[in-house]
Amino acid sequence: MELLNIQQIEKYYGSKSSLTKAIDDLSFTVEEGEFVAIMGASGSGKTTLLNCISTIDRVTAGHIFLEGTDITTLKGKALNKFRREKLGFIFQDFNLLDTLTAYENISLALSIQKKPAKEIAAAVKQVSDQLGITDVLEKYPYQMSGGQKQRVASARAIVTDPRLVLADEPTGALDSKSAKMLLERFRYLNQECGATIMMVTHDSFTASYAGRVLFIKDGKIFHELTRGDDSRKQFFDRIIDVVTLLGGDVSDAL
Amino acid sequence: MLFRLSLSNIRRSLRDYAIYFFTLIIGVSVFYVFNAIGTQAAMLRMSESQYQIIRLLESLLSGMSVFVAGVLALLIVYASRFLMKRRNREFALYMTLGMSKAKISAILLLETLIIGIGSLGVGLVLGIGLSQLSSALVANLFEADMSAYRFSVSGEAIGKTILYFAVMYLIVMLFNSVVVTKMKLITLMQSGKKSEQIKLKNPVLCIVIFLIAAAILGYAYYQIGYNPNAIDSPALFMVYTGMAFVGTFLVFWSVSGMMLRILKAAKGIYHRGLNCFTFRQISSKVNTMVFSMTIICMMMLITICTLSSAFSIRNSLNRNLKTYCAADCELSLLQVSIDENGEETYVAADLSEVPGLDLTGIIGDSVQLSTYFDPGLTMETALGIYAAEAKELYPMLFYDNQEEIIRVSDYNALSRLYGREELTVESDEYILLCDYPNQRALFDTALASGSTERTIFGRTLHARYDKCQDGFVDLCAQAINMGIFVVADDVVDADSAYLTRLIGNYTGETAEEKEAQEKELLARIEQAQNDLNAAHPDEYYLGAETKIQLYESAVGLGAVVTFLGLYIGIVFLIACGAILALKELSESVDSIGRYEMLRKIGAEESAINGSLFVQTGIFFLLPLLLGALHSVFGMKFATYILNEMGTERVGASILSTVLMILVIYGGYFLVTYLCGKGIIKGRS
């Protein structure tokens, strides 16, 4: 089933005299239960795209439909409600609240939705089991490793059972071991729990965990790869080939 | 270049720390207003004695200004140190770009200079405006005529304000330079990457400390509020105040450690909406502000007590005058003769027979009376069998003082003049009149402790009432009658007269007529005294007390305490508000990322603002609440000390104080909240 439908969106920055097209007539769809990676060099517009989908930023033209609702027309409270209930976010720099424990960071996402305390405890327990962070729940962010922090952030993103999880360079601040562990978890969430994940990255290794990779250059879709029945290693090699073709500063990525 | 850098730095911090500059401006203007009161009052039509009170007020205020300047200097140094700390990354950037420490110092120097000149300029303009209003207050307090008033500026006050604040800013510059020379690049660079460390205090230790704090406060409260008699030296009072300070510190220390645990235990509340975030924020703020909170709490205590006492003194003074000053004037005559042993004895005198003192045409209704001394009736014997115990309890009282005695017919004649109730007393009875609260309590205890029989002029009399009765003879501004025995006329030995008084009203009807007559009367008395001195040296002592004089000095005293109270109160409230506001706003700046995060995970804007409101509110409320609790006992003590002034209806004064706090402290709260809201608002 089609979950996300992006129709010819455009995003311009600047004034008429010096116009920057961050996104230039971009369209694609994401099916429910998919794990999509979006790749591109710095300045290719991939983060802008994510910001537009996540309603943090507004498109200049075009429409974005999530489950048939046009989110580009949402405003104020409806926008917050949409963000709260339909989306889950994972950021490069974790964005955990440093004054709260891991447990509280996760539960906050639920208490904002005004869920009762009992339900919160059960949900946090379940999600922390899935992500293997039960033993750090009472710790503060500064007491955790980067990998643990990112898994706590992921737990916070999925604990509300969102329709779509958006991840912005989730492995960007992690060492390779932690990154691998996190991506394994993403795959688990995607395949075993049925979460739909859309991930922005410039790292081919990270992208190779996805089922489909969209390459963006200068605000346009440049290429698209589907994993199909390939092993992760084979898929990774195919991604590298495209990245080489793309050239520029992504070519030196892993 | 440096100048442009300084200017842009100020402009940037002006946005987030407007409240600091606002405080500086208010500080300057308050300083000017209170120092300009003398000049402002000169515009008003006042009597000579009122001018003297204004002189007194001026010198008191200028003395107080030194203290106020000290408080403001501490506040400014605190604030600038605080703002300096927040700029470590900026200094690090300057240093990595190769700027010398001397240059950085120069930038800071320029900044302080610009801020100083700016705040002084704006503050003085505001102060000059406000001081026109303060003239209205002076006129109101002194009940003076404002018709001759015109806009005025006090050059002296301007000079003084500039001098004091220049010194303060100079201190800040020195301070900043010292800080700059001690800066190390590596610590500056790392200061930005702080990760908040949440140190949880040991809960058992917190509870123990809290109990100790409660015990210390309880003891200090008891001593100050319920046992004020025992505080016989300022040193002891300071000890109890010190205990309150330590107790307050420990309360904040332990509460900041326990608060979160207690709130966390209430899971239903803790995990509702943004509560867990809100509570964490408050807890970390209180944790880092224990000492400042303590200082603020104690300043609140002083503010509340000073303001309430000042208002209460003024209210009581004005009300008491109406009761205790029921006639226009009182003349007194003491005639002393030296007996063969060279001892002074008093002679019964007659005011109407004083040569050269003609009262006709000036005084209409009047009563002449004498009071008498029985050498055997001193305060000690007047206390009867209770005397021994009283001496033990209150050793510093004068037990040898003679008690005054008055004939009931004289007293009743006076009562008719005053419009008070008359008394009856049988020939074997006496009535003790006393209205000075502490003395009255002493006499009441004496009368209640068994025997009420007293020997007066060789006759044994017993008390008609087993309590002191309200009443007084002399004109006065408040209840200060320390005790007069009213006895039947035949008991008194006419030869033992002590002081003769003539109490009466002027014949004049209007205030102007009365004033003219009073002038004439005082002149005649002075003339008569001079004549008497020439004819009979050291024999006659004439005195006069008038309603107008009493009124003016009472009104003056009321005005003096009101101004002193307001000065201290306003400055302290500003200081408290500014410290809390600075901390709260810098926290908001530090937390921008956190609020941004909350927004990203879908928290409503109203919930975020609500969280900020609760944080700011509790932060401002905590020291106020504890300070208010302190004040309950502080006011008990103040009421005890100020008994003499009359401190009934303290409630109304406390209400005025609450209003002042609401306006200034509440204003700071509101501005802080609104600025904070602006700071955390999404930058997108």
User: Which is higher by pLDDT, B641 or A200?
Assistant: A200
pLDDT of residue B159: 93
B276 to A142: CB separation less than 8 angstroms, yes or no:
no
A112 to B198: CB separation less than 8 angstroms, yes or no:
no
Is the domain of B191 the same as that of B331?
Answer: no
pLDDT of residue A38: 92
* pLDDT mean over B1-15: 78
Residues of A in contact with B265 (CB under 8 A): none
Domain boundary among B136, B167, B195: B195
Q: Is the pLDDT of residue A252 over 50?
A: no
Which of A98, A140, A156 to mutate against chain B (most B CBs within 10 Å)?
A98
**Is-contact A52 A59, C-beta < 8 A?**
yes
B604 to A120: CB separation less than 8 angstroms, yes or no:
no
**Is-contact B642 B312, C-beta < 8 A?**
yes
Rg (CA), chain A: 18
Q: Which of B121-130, B183-192, B506-515 has the lowest mean pLDDT?
A: B183-192
Number of residue pairs across A and B with CB atoms under 8 Å? Answer: 88
Quick one: DSSP state of residue A24?
E
Name, in order, each residue with C-beta under 8 angstroms of A12's C-beta and a sequence gap of 6 or more: A19, A20, A21, A22, A60
The reply to whether CATH 3.90.1640.30 applies to domain A2-250 is no
The model's pLDDT over B161-212, given as tens digits with 9 standing for 90+, comes to 999 999 999 998 898 888 888 888 877 777 655 555 666 678 888 899 999 9
Residues of B in contact with A47 (CB under 8 A): none
B273 to A111: CB separation less than 8 angstroms, yes or no:
yes
Tell me, yes or no, if B272 comes closer than 8 A to chain A by beta carbon.
Answer: yes
Rounded Cα gap, residues A133 and A47, in angstroms: 28
Please tell me which residue of chain B has the smallest CA distance to A157.
B601
Residue appearing with tokens 């704090």: B213
* Within a domain: B68: yes
Tell me, yes or no, if B265 comes closer than 8 A to chain A by beta carbon.
Answer: no
Tell me, yes or no, if A249 comes closer than 8 A to chain B by beta carbon.
Answer: no
In the stretch 37-96 of chain A, residues with CB closer than 8 A to chain B read: 54, 56-57, 77, 80-85, 87, 89, 91, 95-96
* Within a domain: B653: no
pLDDT of residue B648: 60
Question: Which has the closest alpha carbon to A109: B597, B614, B611?
Answer: B597
pLDDT of residue B382: 86
ipTM above 0.85, yes or no: no
Q: Chain B: nearest CA to A213, how far in angstroms? A: 25
DSSP B259-308: HHHHHHH-HHHHTSTTHHHHHHHHHHHHHHTHHHHHHHHHHHHHHHHHHH
- The values of phi and psi at residue A3, to 5°, are -100, -50
Domain extent for B120 = 1-195
The model's pLDDT over A137-177, given as tens digits with 9 standing for 90+, comes to 988 888 888 888 888 998 898 888 888 999 988 888 888 88
Q: Is the pLDDT of residue B270 over 50?
A: yes
- The three-state secondary structure class of B671 is helix
pLDDT of residue B669: 94
| Average pLDDT along chain B | 85
**Is-contact B582 B19, C-beta < 8 A?**
yes
Tell me, yes or no, if B193 comes closer than 8 A to chain A by beta carbon.
Answer: no
Question: Which has the closest alpha carbon to B333: B523, B473, B477, B503?
Answer: B503
pLDDT of residue A248: 52
The model's pLDDT over B555-602, given as tens digits with 9 standing for 90+, comes to 788 888 888 888 999 999 999 999 999 888 888 888 888 888 888 877
Please tell me which residue of chain B has the smallest CA distance to A97.
B594
User: Which is higher by pLDDT, B124 or B556?
Assistant: B124
* Within a domain: B527: yes
* Within a domain: B563: no
* pLDDT mean over B39-48: 76
* pLDDT mean over B297-320: 86
Domain boundary among B546, B580, B601: B546
Is the domain of B155 the same as that of B6?
Answer: yes
Residue B684 — pLDDT band, cuts 50, 70, 90? Answer: very low
Tell me, yes or no, if A253 comes closer than 8 A to chain B by beta carbon.
Answer: no
* pLDDT mean over A231-245: 89
pLDDT of residue B209: 92
* Within a domain: B83: yes
Is the domain of B185 the same as that of B331?
Answer: no
Q: Chain A: nearest CA to B277, how far in angstroms? A: 7
* Within a domain: B306: no
pLDDT of residue B194: 54
* pLDDT mean over B67-82: 88
Please tell me which residue of chain A has the smallest CA distance to B265.
A117
Torsion of CA B182, B183, B187, B190, to 10 degrees: 160
Q: Which of A150-164, B8-22, B102-116, B421-435 has the lowest mean pLDDT?
A: B8-22
Please tell me which residue of chain A has the smallest CA distance to B608.
A112
Which of B592, B601, B680 to mutate against chain A (most A CBs within 10 Å)?
B601
Domain boundary among B513, B546, B579: B546
* pLDDT mean over B86-107: 84
pLDDT of residue A30: 92
Is the domain of B372 the same as that of B518?
Answer: yes
* Within a domain: B348: yes
pLDDT of residue A250: 46
Token digits for A251? 């070519």
Name, in order, each residue with C-beta under 8 angstroms of B126's C-beta and a sequence gap of 6 or more: B25, B26, B28, B29
pLDDT of residue A251: 44
Tell me, yes or no, if B604 comes closer than 8 A to chain A by beta carbon.
Answer: yes
* pLDDT mean over B613-633: 92
Q: Is the pLDDT of residue A254 over 50?
A: no
B280 to A80: CB separation less than 8 angstroms, yes or no:
no
Rounded Cα gap, residues B665 and B23, in angstroms: 12
Rounded Cα gap, residues A46 and B435, in angstroms: 88
* Within a domain: B203: no
- Looking at the DSSP assignment, which residues form a beta bridge with residue B429? B462
Q: Chain A: nearest CA to B610, how far in angstroms? A: 13
Please tell me which residue of chain A has the smallest CA distance to B195.
A142
Tell me, yes or no, if B583 comes closer than 8 A to chain A by beta carbon.
Answer: no
pLDDT of residue B110: 87
Is the domain of B188 the same as that of B332?
Answer: no
A100 to B276: CB separation less than 8 angstroms, yes or no:
yes
Number of structural domains found in chain B: 2
pLDDT of residue B193: 53
pLDDT of residue A237: 92
Domain boundaries along the sequence of chain A = 2-250
Q: Is the pLDDT of residue B683 over 80?
A: no
| pLDDT more than 70, % of chain B | 97
| pLDDT more than 90, % of chain B | 20
Please tell me which residue of chain B has the smallest CA distance to A95.
B597
